[in-house]
Amino acid sequence: MNARNDHTIETPRERQGRHKAMEAVKVLDTLREYAVNPPEAMAYFYELHRRYHCDMTPMHEGKTKVGTMCIQVPYEVIDALGAAPVRLCNGFYTDDEIGGEYLPSKSCPLVKATVGAFATDHFADTPDLVVTPTTCDQKTKATGIVEEMGYPVYEMEFPRVKESEESREYWRRSVRNFTKTLSKELKTKLTRGKLKASIRKVGYAQTLYHRLNALRKAELPPISGNDMFLVTNAFFFDKTEAWSAAVERLLAEMEERVKEGIGAARKRSPRIVYTGSPPIFPNLKVPQLIEMADAVIVADESCSSNRLFNDMVSVDEWFLYDMVDAVADRYLKGCTCPVFTRNDDRIRRIVELVKEYSADGVVYQAFAGCQVYEMEQRSVLAAMEKEGIPILYLESDYSPSQLGQLTTRVEAFVESLKSRKRRQ
């Protein structure tokens, strides 16, 4: 028997760390366990997530870290000013529970989890500055809470109408102001050369990602959707160059696999396009259920993955402020977040993805409490019905238990897609 006093009690921070490590390990293990022909080059990403989320290994030591609370914050500008952009959107249930003490219990788990991480100051790379765009109401409102907790916050104004010229101009101005403030803050001048280099660097990462995605169109997709989420989620915090190098290796292996006809799924596995609230590591609950039910996610329309890389910056004139505007445009134009008044763009993109990737159906997840995704399910469901595309709508949260009902619904959907496939 062990003596009762040969141990000390964990500090709240240690406890938080253990809880997060337990969550992360669980997901990584489960993914490994169910993986069909896991690619070797994925080892880098598994290890990276483990290091970052379990061991809290910082990735950007010595650099100023700019924490971003949404995908709309221009990555290229931060990078060009010599700082490290770190996306803080959070997928930990542990943090969600803590965040629930600061926000209404019915709010979005993603926002609650993000706030929860601030509340406990539990980051591998603690942000020196936090940038929050005024996208959805909950992110917008979280700004004040994070500020109250003592973090310096920069509020970036984001328009809610996408099509108008006014919005475009408004957003460009917003990005220009941000650039000026950040450059003052960091005491660095933004130069043409630096911004150009950053645009190239991010652009290269995007190209790799697009090539990787194109391979998923193969009859046997060479990589699982969950692995792709790990890859894209790693972009949140990894050094861009390191990320690109790892994706290059992955890409080479994938190309081989496609040639040899090795897939990360079975031929009969229904092909799914995932859309909705962003799956952020370790909350891969729904994507995991989908692939454990013997379907394969071939593409996604989500801001934690596909949307990150959709459009590239297109520059007409390589003058500094033209470049900044071009960066701004990339974000607004490419953004299919449901915060906008109309969502025609998002619907169009989902339909396109289904066709391009020969998908058999769509799974739409809304986080309980995320108004915009919950509201937009109606229009998306209607549009899919018109196109004859089967779609499953699910509402879920971050809690690791109570999977029963979700599992049953996902399995039933996947089975119905299989029998449709057989009849074709």
Partner 1 sequence: MEYFAGIDIGSTAIKIAIVDGTGRLVGHRVSASGSMFYKYAQESLAQLMAEVGVAPEALRYTVATGYGRKLFKEADENISEITANAIGARAAAQEHGEIKTIINIGGQDSKAISMDSEGNVVNFAMNDRCAAGTGKFLDVVARNLEIGVDELGEYHFKSTGTPLSINSTCAVFAESEIIGLLGNNHRVEEIVSGVHYSIAKRIVKLVKRVGIHEGIYFDGGPALNNGLVNAIENELGKPIFVPAFPQITTSLGAAVLAWESYGYESGEAV
Residue 2 near partner 1 by CB under 8 A? yes
CB 418 within 8 A of CB 361: no
- Closest CB to ligand SF4 among 48 and 339? 339
User: What letter would DSSP give residue 132?
Assistant: E
When CB distances are held under 5 to 8 angstroms depending on the partner's kind, the choice from ligand SF4, partner 1, none that residue 179 binds is none
Which residue, 5 or 424, has its beta carbon nearer to partner 1? 5
In this complex, which beta carbon is closest to partner 1, that of residue 24 or of residue 130? 24
Nearer to ligand SF4 (CB atom), residue 235 or residue 373: 373
Select from 6-14, 248-256, 258-266, 289-297 the region that touches partner 1 (CB under 8 A). Answer: 6-14
Q: How far is the CB of 364 from ligand SF4 (least distance, A)?
A: 12
Residue 118 contact partner, candidates ligand SF4, partner 1, none, CB within 5 to 8 A by sort of partner: none
Q: Is 300 helix (H, G, I), strand (E, B) or coil?
A: strand
Distance in angstroms (rounded) separating the CA atoms of residues 88 and 149: 16
Nearer to ligand SF4 (CB atom), residue 16 or residue 377: 377
Q: Which residue has the tokens 């070797």?
A: 40
Q: Does 36 help bind partner 1 (rule: CB under 8 A)?
A: no
Q: Which is nearer to partner 1, 320 or 403 (CB)?
A: 403
Q: What is the DSSP letter of 392?
A: E
Residue that is written with structure tokens 């292996």 in the block: 253
Residues in the interface with partner 1 (CB under 8 A) total 24
Q: Which stretches of the chain bind ligand SF4, using CB under 6 A?
A: 70-72, 89, 108, 110-111, 135-136, 138-139, 277-278, 303, 337, 339, 367, 370, 372-373
Site string (365-404) toward partner 1, x via CB under 8 A: -----------------------------------xxxx-
Is residue 15 close enough to count as binding partner 1 by CB under 8 A? Answer: yes
- The residues binding partner 1 (CB under 8 A) are 1-2, 4, 6-7, 9-12, 14-15, 18, 21-23, 25-26, 29, 33, 54, 400-403
